[in-house]
Amino acid sequence: MTAILAGVAGPTLLAHQGGWDEIAMVAVPVLLIAGLLAVAKRRVDAVTPADRSAAERTSADRER
């Protein structure tokens, strides 16, 4: 009888965790994307003005 109850209760307990699992399913991707955007912004801000002007000249040369 215990095996039958475990078979029935297992999916029920796994499916309903009080809402924290649904929050994690939304929060983890949002935080991951926010973290990647923060890293990208930090890398862009770290580029020196001389590097930026060189990159702009290179892209302008490609357009010609």
Question: pLDDT tens-digit profile of 9-44?
Answer: 555 555 667 888 889 999 999 999 999 999 999 999
Q: Report if residue 13 sits inside a domain.
A: no
User: 40 in a domain, yes or no?
Assistant: yes
The total of structural domains in the chain comes to 1
Is 23 part of any domain?
yes
Does residue 24 lie within any of the structural domains?
yes
- Segments forming the whole domain that contains residue 27: 18-63
Look up the pTM and report it: 0.54
What DSSP letter does each residue of 1-64 carry, written as one string? Answer: -HHHHHHHHHHHHHH-STTHHHHHHHHHHHHHHHHHHHHHHHHHHHS-HHHHHHHHHHHHHHH-
